[in-house]
Amino acid sequence: MQVGIDKIGFFTPNKYVDMVDLAHARNEDPNKYLIGIGQKQMSVADQTQDAVSMGINATLRYIDQIDKKKVGLLVFGTESSVDQSKSASLFVKSALNLRPEVRTFEVKEACFGLTASLMIARDFVRVHSDETAIIIGSDIARYGVGTPGEVTQGAGSISLLIKSDPAILALNDGHSAYSQDINDFWRPNGSKLAMVDGKYSTQVYLDFFKNVFDKYKEDKHLETKDFDAIIYHLPFTKQGLKANRIAIENQDEETTNRLQNSFEASKQLSMRVGNVYTASLYMSLLSLLENDELDSDALVGLFSYGSGAMAEFFSGNVVADYQKQLDEKGDLALLDRRQRLTVKEYEDTFNNALEEPKDGEELSSDEAEGVWYFAGTKNHIRQYKQK
């Protein structure tokens, strides 16, 4: 039985800052951000958008197309958790009216969280072939105003429906994993800003990529040329470009061109949204599917990396007519609807979002009709509302 991705829903908040504006404000050459880092824009979450609301909004993109009675598992991967105890997924379950029998919880290992959820969901569907699983990755990347990491922030969510006989990507058996207890990036309790050993993190990411990619090919008796596309966790697109350069080293012209083109296709959303941690690799997948022309059965390699650190390489085959499942126009409209903030407005919005509203204070949102948002707390219980 084939199991894999049947639906993809994407959401990002309604504000962004332009990288050229940011470069000017930080006295940097814009090409450092545009080329050196590889980012054009960065989504900004105000106080009313958090991991939960973005996760609901991403799932809303496809919820009316599925049979909700079949959803047996709901897993939420995030490192922007809103509670130390209650799972973000329970708020989502309520908002989406999923049945009480659903098994639901939250998982964490930095950006690896959605891949962990995917593997749990794959195994669940293998055992319960009539049921489906919703898995959500939702995050706000925050390093702080004026930090070296600032240009690699972002906000957004990806929601995936996992089922048997999937309509988008059939996952292949097996994977190669590698983990090591290191301190490249972390966020201590009580801090809304991540701490990072930036240069070290970029090197570890590449070392882990080489490790799991080589091991995967060896285990599966595959060569680089067998892949139609390889996609990456993209903390910023230059990082993926460097990994892709490793992948295509010593390849013939045809393979090199193919994997360069597929990488270009896969980075389009990330370039405009920024780092969305857990959701990032799956935003690369969505971007690849929307911007490349893949034959049915095309082999896609996926590299997942979560700081701390955990990496995994796995693969899937594209399903015929996958295009019918996508909403490319809707995704572009979501990006185009965003308000361009001045750098001052971005700084104020960013700093305001670090504060918790006073208990009992009701927040209002400037999002469009139908969008869910965080409306403040009542008796320290988070309230989510739909516009």
CB of 200 vs ligand HMG, minimal distance in Å:
9
Of the pair 95, 276, the CB lying nearest ligand HMG is at 276
Is residue 212 within 8 Å of residue 312, measured between CB atoms?
A: yes
CA distance from start to end of the chain: 41
* Minimum distance, C-beta of residue 13 to ligand HMG, in the bound complex (Å): 18
Minimum Å distance from CB 183 to ligand HMG? Answer: 12
Active site residue 79: yes
**C-beta atoms surrounding 89 within 10 Å:** 27
Ligand-binding annotation for 29, yes or no, is yes
Residue 284 Cα distances to 185, 252, 268, angstroms: 21, 24, 8
Active site residue 111: yes
Catalytic residue among 106, 175, 233, 290: 233
Nearer residue to ligand HMG within complex by CB, 51 or 96: 51
CB of 140 to ligand HMG, least distance (A): 11
Helix (DSSP H) and strand (DSSP E) numbers for the chain? 12, 17
68 is in an annotated binding site: no
Residue (255 or 275) nearer to ligand HMG, CB? 275
Q: How far apart are CA 374 and CA 383, in angstroms?
A: 6
Find tokens 């050229």 and name the residue.
20
361 is catalytic: no
The CB-of-110 to ligand HMG minimum distance in angstroms stands at: 3
Catalytic residue among 106, 111, 312, 367: 111
Q: Which H or E run includes 273?
A: helix 268-273
Question: Please, which residue, 215 or 245, has the CB nearer to ligand HMG?
Answer: 245
List CB contacts of 385: < 8 A, sequence separation 6 or more. 365, 372, 373, 375
**Helix/strand/coil (H/E/C) assignment for every residue in 48-106:** CCCHHHHHHHHHHCCHHHCCHHHEEEEEEECCCCCCCCCCHHHHHHHHHCCCCCCEEEE
Question: With contact defined as beta carbons under 8 Å apart, do 21 and 290 qualify?
Answer: no
| Residues contributing to the site for ligand HMG (CB under 6 A) | 29, 31-32, 35-37, 79, 110-111, 148-149, 151-152, 184-185, 196, 198-199, 201-202, 205, 233, 235-236, 239, 275, 277, 305-307
By beta-carbon proximity to ligand HMG, the closer residue of 263 and 384 is 263
Binding residues: 29, 143, 242, 275
Which residues does the annotation mark as catalytic? Answer: 79, 111, 233
Binding residues for (3S)-3-hydroxy-3-methylglutaryl-CoA: 29, 143, 242, 275
